[in-house]
């Protein structure tokens, strides 16, 4: 609910005071949509650095940061007056519904149910990064037809058992877990959400893969699970793309395989096969989600 004008202005003053001595100092700040605060004039080339500064201030200002862009949405602008956000009861109901949901019932990669026959093995084993390896030989004893996840897991396990092959694949796929793979829009704003709670923060995340409030609740639970398991924090939301800083990388094997499956489920347009993503994840701390029409 909107509080009195003095209190709201005082909130902005406190945030500006917290910004002193950080890359956010002196930037234009004001009211954003639905109870948020927007900081404008972010240098796109420094967006990760600026986000890290804002993330470090969450215990101080009580607001979780996410980078957004007005390249595709001209409603993302600083407003002269504050705009009401959800009531405490509405936000609590959102978080409770998110916590009770199972996001992986709705977020499933479309290839999970594919069967692979003899004529398709080479295509699926080759991967997308174009590594020049005789990967089909590694799965030549797999009984066909078989489910694609089973074929890819066999391939992944055999790569893990061969250090040289694994290193060659990693050299071609590790780019997907680096920040220079991230999308950089022309115009960047910092949105400060009116909560420090990860699950509740999903209420404000604008993502093509979460077009309804029900899907937003599922996404909020993904954000929470990834935060708890991998210390993954949402850096940016560009509509069809999400970008995460991940401070606890999955270990090679079961952890990386599970994380790769979840990442592919949320990001059907991520241009690597699941076994390639599983190879890449332990080697970097930047995750990229791409889900577009």
Cα 254–Cα 260–Cα 262 angle in degrees, nearest 5: 105
User: Is 90's pLDDT higher than 80?
Assistant: yes
Least confident of 3-17, 103-117, 238-252: 3-17
Instruction: Quote the mean pLDDT of the chain.
Output: 91
Do 35 and 22 form a contact (C-beta atoms < 8 A)? no
Is the pTM for the entire model greater than 0.85?
yes
pLDDT recorded at residue 1: 40
Assess whether pLDDT exceeds 90 at residue 68: yes
Q: Which residue has the higher pLDDT, 106 or 136?
A: 106
Residue 149 forms beta bridges with which residues?
none
Rg of the chain, C-alpha, whole Å = 21
Q: How far apart are CA 233 and CA 227, in angstroms?
A: 6
Rounded Cα gap, residues 111 and 120, in angstroms: 13
Tell me the two tokens of residue 273.
């096969």
Whether pLDDT at 120 is above 90: no
CA–CA dist 217, 223 (Å, integer): 10
Q: How confident is the model at residue 122 (pLDDT cuts 50, 70, 90)?
A: confident
pLDDT at 4 over 60: no
pLDDT for 6 equals: 40
Q: How far apart are the first and last CA of the chain?
A: 35
Tell me, what's the pLDDT at 9?
56
Question: Between 174 and 271, where is the model more confident?
Answer: 174
pLDDT value at residue 66: 98
Please tell me which residue, 197 or 136, carries the higher pLDDT value: 197
For 122, the token pair is 């080479």
Give the pLDDT confidence of 126-154 residue by residue, as tens digits: 777 666 666 677 788 888 888 889 889 99
- What would the pLDDT profile of 155-179 be if each residue is shown by its tens digit? 899 899 999 889 989 999 999 999 9
């Amino acid at each position: 609910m909107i509080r009195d004008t003095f209190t709201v202005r005082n909130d902005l003053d406190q945030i500006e005071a917290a910004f002193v001595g950080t890359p956010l100092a002196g930037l234009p700040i004001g009211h954003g949509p639905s109870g948020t605060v927007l900081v404008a004039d972010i240098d796109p080339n420094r967006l990760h650095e600026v986000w890290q500064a804002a993330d470090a201030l969450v215990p101080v200002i009580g607001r979780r940061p996410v980078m957004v862009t007005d390249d595709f949405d001209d409603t993302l602008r600083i407003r002269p007056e504050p705009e009401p956000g959800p009531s405490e009861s509405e936000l609590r109901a959102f978080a409770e519904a998110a916590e009770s949901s199972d996001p992986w019932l709705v977020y499933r990669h479309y290839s999970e149910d594919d069967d692979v026959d003899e004529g398709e093995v080479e295509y699926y084993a080759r991967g997308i990064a174009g590594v020049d390896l005789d990967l089909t030989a590694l799965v030549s004893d797999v009984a066909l037809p078989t489910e694609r996840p089973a074929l890819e897991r066999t391939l992944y396990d055999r790569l893990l058992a061969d250090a040289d092959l694994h290193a060659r694949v990693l050299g071609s796929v590790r780019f997907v877990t680096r920040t220079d793979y991230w999308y950089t829009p022309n115009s960047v704003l910092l949105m400060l959400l009116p909560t420090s709670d990860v699950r509740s923060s999903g209420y404000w995340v604008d993502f093509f893969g979460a077009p309804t409030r029900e899907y937003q609740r599922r996404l909020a639970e993904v954000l929470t699970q990834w935060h708890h398991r991998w210390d993954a924090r949402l850096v940016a939301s560009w509509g069809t793309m999400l970008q995460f800083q991940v401070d606890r990388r999955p270990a090679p094997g079961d952890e990386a395989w599970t994380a790769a499956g979840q990442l592919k489920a949320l990001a059907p347009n991520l241009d690597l096969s699941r076994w390639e993503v599983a190879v890449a994840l332990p080697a970097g701390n930047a995750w990229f989600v791409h889900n577009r029409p």
